[in-house]
Structure 1
Amino acid sequence: MEAIEDNSGQALRRAPSQKRSQERVERMLQAASALISEGGSDAMRMGEVAERAGVSIGSLYQYFPDKGAIIRTLAERYNAEGRACIADGLAGVRDMKGLIEAFGGLIDVYYGIFLAEPVMRDIWSGTQADKALRDIDLRDSRANGALLAGALLRVKPDADSDLVERKAFLIMSLGESTMRLAISVERAEGDLLVADYKAMALREIAAL
């Protein structure tokens, strides 16, 4: 069984190598997601996760040393799904008009995911208070920025690559911050904030 570590070297969990173990870990994560959805991550307890997953508390700790490890694992899972969505949405872009349409659509899709997924909202609302989550968020913004920069350089191959990469990173990072802000206020105001971000981001992309 292999230990998985984050960039700081802190073990987050143990990677299951057998199918039965993989299924057990999946039950643990599903149980944690359900509990977070019902009462928030602050109220979630390791014993409740084990009970709902139908595993012993010792088995839970074997894979997840603490509640934070579960939350970080869920965060990384949502990030991976988001990157796949962005990569797919930008894959067919071949001109600036297509890029603007595709990226504008991705903003709408991402906002919809934030609104619809209480676990994702809960995790990212606590990002600034958790250094490990901040580090995950930063790595995700860089990865997403690289996807946007790649699409931009396909449609404008003569552009300054350093400038494109820096602006793409900033656009993605601001997008994450905008989503967290939008879900922390009343829905009507949140919708306007996302619309304002979308307009600013698309102007920057078009100006490159």
Structure 2
Amino acid sequence: MPDNAKKMRRAPTQKRSRERVQNILKVACDLIAAQGSDGMKMGELAQKAGVSIGSLYQYFPDKASVIHALADRYNDESRHCIEEAFSQVTSGQTLITAFDQLIDIYFDLFLAEPVICDIWTGTQADKTLRDMELEVSRENGALLARKITQLRGDQTIQASVSARCLLIMNMGEATMRLAISVPLEEGREIVASYKRMVRSEITDMLGAK
């Protein structure tokens, strides 16, 4: 996460504290889903989470830190999903199939989770979230570059494919933001077009292997 990110004030160490923080984040999700992040108030969050406002501020100094903690959690889940999908890849075709499936899963997740939509549609207005998105794109792009390098059996190509893999991952975030901002059928066509472009790019990097 970028150094300038708005982090939690105190990371929980005891089981009870961790459970309290998870409950706070769950309630925050519910509030954002109902009224958007702009409408969420720290006082209301504390009340509905069953904690004092002082206890809430012990962990989260402001609303932005709550939003960033949620973004961090979704980023971790996304990275785990990519790592798991890529671990099953044994050929160029299975890589393309796995990536296709990941795109579908990600789009369905955006549609099903209003919180993710709210966070990432506001990314461009928040420099910290923009920095976070770029870092996540780099990390996920590196996963893709390593897998392509492994399939090609040529370590010397990793540097040359890294920028292309970063572009694929960063474009994926932008594609999802656009796809959820238009009518559903149009959004699906946008996602399908992105998938076709990615298939072509990955096939080229694989050397048609």
Q: Name the residue aligned to 2:69.
A: 73
Task: Answer yes or no: is 1:64 the counterpart of 2:45.
Answer: no
Q: How far did 1:164 drift?
A: 1.3
Distance 2:95 2:197 in 1: 15
Write 1 or 2 for the structure with the bigger share of strand. Answer: 1
Structure 2 stretches lacking a partner, 5+ long: none
Q: How does 1:1-208 map to 2 (within 5 A)?
A: 6-8=2-4, 11-158=7-154, 160-208=157-205
Distance 1:9 1:164 in 2: 29
Distance 1:94 1:68 in 2: 41
Distance 2:99 2:7 in 1: 36
Q: TM-score, normalised by structure 2?
A: 0.94
Q: How many residues align?
A: 204
SS of the residue 1:14 aligns to: coil
2:113 corresponds to which letter in structure 1?
E
1:45 corresponds to which letter in structure 2?
K
Q: How far did 1:157 drift?
A: 2.2
CA contact (8 A) 1:6 1:12 kept: no
CA contact (8 A) 1:50 1:56 kept: yes
1:85 corresponds to which letter in structure 2?
C
Distance 2:101 2:178 in 1: 19
In the superposition, relative to structure 1, how do residues 28 and 10 fare at CA in structure 2: closer, same or farther (>3 Å)?
A: closer
Percent sequence identity is 53
Distance 1:129 1:42 in 2: 12
Q: How far did 1:10 drift?
A: 5.2
Distance 2:183 2:88 in 1: 35
How large is the Cα RMSD of the aligned pairs? Answer: 1.3
In the superposition, relative to structure 1, how do residues 9 and 193 fare at CA in structure 2: closer, same or farther (>3 Å)?
A: closer
1:177 corresponds to which letter in structure 2?
A
Q: How far did 1:9 drift?
A: 6.8
CA contact (8 A) 1:94 1:154 kept: no
SS of the residue 1:12 aligns to: coil
SS of the residue 1:17 aligns to: coil
Structure 1 stretches lacking a partner, 5+ long: none
Partner deviation per Cα, 1:10-68 (whole Å, 9 max, x = no partner): 54331011111111111111110000010100000000110010000000011000000
Regions of 4+ moved over 4 Å: none
Partner deviation per Cα, 1:68-87 (whole Å, 9 max, x = no partner): 00000000100000000000
Distance 1:206 1:152 in 2: 10
